[in-house]
């Protein structure tokens, strides 16, 4: 099908975009990469009265390095994120995850911030920013605020963003350990049935500290703290501890029990991989 | 209906100016406004890849971008790229390997394969399969297409 009619605005500044968003009321939607929004329009799942195209807002774009890590503008294309030397050096988890996002033609258009604001529970980037303890910078009519990534994702397509706010950038501290990233999908480029994004710091061939964020299993990316703590005992103890962390939700791909099983399998595989690399 | 917006862009090297409704996607713009029917549409939600075109040198889904967004852009379609010779080895290999049956997906396949070969001139078979997973073919079973892309990669190494 075709998108329903809408009015179109293309602001050049964040300030102008915020004004349009405030004035547009419930009928206004932001258009960034459009790789989730436009399918929803074409399928008439959404009928906004106005699209505010932020692709011309340069201040939302780009990757820069800071003393503590990196800053990634919300409008940065997923392809740019995947190709960035700065990202590969300071947050290699993102570099590893990007090729799993859909396909090249979609990554060329889809944005980093769009994926976060969309908050699909099976998407890669929300899980990555949780694993990396990113701070998300948000602009709104009441000024700027920062939200920790662990507090940003609320549920399926639900975030801490208010209707009149725009995600500006993520401040991402330099990654501390070796990358853990695994994803199970039926086909290359599909959303994950279950995925694991995180890192592990090794000492004397053992995992001393780890972050384990699961996606595609629950209603949002889940920081599996109990499992990460249990890794000090054993990998099998960590897999058992996932019962405390996850509340898997069935979807058309897999039952809740299947997702719980796959999460354990991914954790076992990730630990084996990272230990083998260290050996 | 919503009012129209005037856009100026380049399509296959030619400057174009048109008034478009904001809801008009790039594929319909190319096909209905410019008569460039080599780009196909099918799923209209970004899954099938039939509408793959190049915008500013990068492949995109034509069904997931509105023409109104493309002021100042450089759009290249199967018509322009085929005429330029950029796809010659791929076209010859698709023909030789019988990688075309009904032909509906072929324009998208060629553009996706070309993007792969520009990024990775000597791809492994699994890499070709991963790249082509972005495009659906309902006739060939894909093997002939993968064979054709592998052949075209070898032919391209002979380019001066």
DSSP state of B37: T
B 87-146 residues inside an 8 A Cβ radius of A: 112, 115-116, 119, 129-131, 133-134
Give residue-wise pLDDT tens across range B145-158.
999 999 999 999 99
Which percentage of chain B shows pLDDT scores above 70? 99
Cβ–Cβ under 8 Å, residues A29 and A51: yes
A8/B112 CB distance under 8 A: no
Q: Is the dihedral of CA A162, A252, A45, A101 positive or negative?
A: positive
Domain ranges across chain B: 5-81, 85-156
Q: What is the ipTM of this complex?
A: 0.96
pLDDT number for residue B1 = 52
- Give the angle A68-A71-A74 at the CA atoms, nearest 5°: 155
Q: What distance in Å separates the CA atoms of residue A153 and residue B116, rounded to the nearest whole number? A: 34
A39/B25 CB distance under 8 A: no
The answer to whether B79 contacts chain A (CB < 8 Å) is no
| Cross-chain CB nearest to B22 (options A6, A79, A103) | A6
Is the pLDDT assigned to residue B115 strictly greater than 60? yes
Q: What distance in Å separates the CA atoms of residue A48 and residue A28, rounded to the nearest whole number? A: 6
The answer to whether B57 contacts chain A (CB < 8 Å) is no
- Of the candidate CATH numbers 3.30.465.10, 3.30.300.210, 3.40.640.10, 2.102.10.10, the domain formed by A58-173 belongs to 3.30.465.10
Q: Which CATH superfamily is domain A178-278 in?
A: CO dehydrogenase flavoprotein, C-terminal domain (3.30.390.50)
Q: What distance in Å separates the CA atoms of residue B42 and residue A158, rounded to the nearest whole number? A: 30
Domain ranges across chain A: 7-56, 58-173, 178-278
> B5-81 is classed in which CATH architecture?
Roll (3.10)
Mean pLDDT in chain B? 96
Of the residues A10, A103, A107, the best mutation for testing chain B's interface (the one with the most B CB atoms within 10 Å of its CB) is A103
Q: Coil, strand, or helix at residue A230?
A: helix
pLDDT band (50, 70, 90) for residue B141: confident
Nearest partner of B105 among B113, B93, B115, judged by Cα:
B113
pLDDT number for residue B90 = 98
pLDDT band (50, 70, 90) for residue B2: low
CATH class of B85-156: mainly alpha
User: Can you spell out the DSSP letters for A83-146?
Assistant: H-HHHHHH-HHHHHHGGGSS-HHHHTT-BHHHHHHHT-TT-HHHHHHHHTTPEEEEEETTEEEE
Q: What is the mean pLDDT of residues B116-122?
A: 97
DSSP state of B40: -
State which H helix or E strand residue B10 sits in: strand B5-11
Q: What is the mean pLDDT of residues B84-110?
A: 97
Is the pLDDT assigned to residue B64 strictly greater than 90? yes
pLDDT number for residue B140 = 86
Mean pLDDT in chain A? 96
Tell me the Cα Rg of chain B. 16
Residues of A in contact with B25 (CB under 8 A): 2-3, 38, 42
CATH class of A7-56: alpha beta
Q: What distance in Å separates the CA atoms of residue B51 and residue A106, rounded to the nearest whole number? A: 12
Q: What is the pTM of this model?
A: 0.96
pLDDT number for residue B32 = 98
- Listed as ranges, residues in chain A with pLDDT below 70 are none
Cβ–Cβ under 8 Å, residues A216 and A195: yes
| H helix intervals, B15-142 | 26-28, 78-84, 88-96, 106-119, 125-132
Q: What distance in Å separates the CA atoms of residue A176 and residue A93, rounded to the nearest whole number? A: 10
Q: Which two tokens stand for residue A278?
A: 């260290």
């Amino acid at each position: 099908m075709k998108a329903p009619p809408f009015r179109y605005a293309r602001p050049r500044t964040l300030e102008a975009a915020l004004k349009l968003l405030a004035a547009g009321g419930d009928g206004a939607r932001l258009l960034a990469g459009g790789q989730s929004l436009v399918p929803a329009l074409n399928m008439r799942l959404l009928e906004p009265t106005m699209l505010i195209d932020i692709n011309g807002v340069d201040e939302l774009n780009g990757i820069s390095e800071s003393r503590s890590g990196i800053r990634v503008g919300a409008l940065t294309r997923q392809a740019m994120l995947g190709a960035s030397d700065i990202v590969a050096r300071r947050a290699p988890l993102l570099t590893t995850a990007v090729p799993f996002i859909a396909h090249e033609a979609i990554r060329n258009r889809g944005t980093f911030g769009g994926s976060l604001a969309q908050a699909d529970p099976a998407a890669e980037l929300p899980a990555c920013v949780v694993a990396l303890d990113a701070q998300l910078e948000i602009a709104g009519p009441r000024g700027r605020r920062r939200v920790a990534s662990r507090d940003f994702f609320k549920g399926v397509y639900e975030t801490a963003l208010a209707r009149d706010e725009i995600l500006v950038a993520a401040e991402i501290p330099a990654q501390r350990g070796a990358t853990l990233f695994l994803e199970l999908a039926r086909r290359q480029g599909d959303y994950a049935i279950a995925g694991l994004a995180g890192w592990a710091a090794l000492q004397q061939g053992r995992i001393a500290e780890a972050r384990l964020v699961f996606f595609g299993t629950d209603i949002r990316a889940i920081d599996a703290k109990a499992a990460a703590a249990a890794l000090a005992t054993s990998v099998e103890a960590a897999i058992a501890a996932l019962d405390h962390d996850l509340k898997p939700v069935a979807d058309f791909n897999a039952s809740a029990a299947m997702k719980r099983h796959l999460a354990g399998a991914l954790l076992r595989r990730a630990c084996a991989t990272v230990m083998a690399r260290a050996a | 209906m919503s009012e129209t917006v005037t856009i100026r862009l380049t399509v296959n090297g030619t400057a174009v100016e048109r008034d478009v409704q904001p809801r008009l996607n790039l594929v319909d713009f190319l096909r209905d406004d410019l008569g460039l029917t080599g780009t196909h549409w099918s799923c209209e939600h970004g899954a099938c890849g039939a509408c793959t075109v190049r915008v500013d040198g990068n492949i995109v889904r034509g069904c997931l971008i509105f023409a109104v967004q493309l002021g100042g852009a450089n759009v290249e379609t199967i018509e322009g790229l085929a005429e330029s010779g950029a796809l010659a080895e791929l076209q010859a290999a698709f023909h030789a390997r019988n990688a075309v049956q009904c032909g509906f997906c072929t324009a998208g396949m060629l553009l996706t394969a070309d993007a792969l070969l520009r990024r990775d001139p000597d791809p492994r078979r699994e890499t070709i399969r991963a790249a082509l997973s972005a495009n659906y073919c309902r006739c060939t079973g894909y093997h002939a297409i993968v064979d054709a892309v592998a052949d075209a990669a070898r032919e391209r190494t002979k380019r001066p």
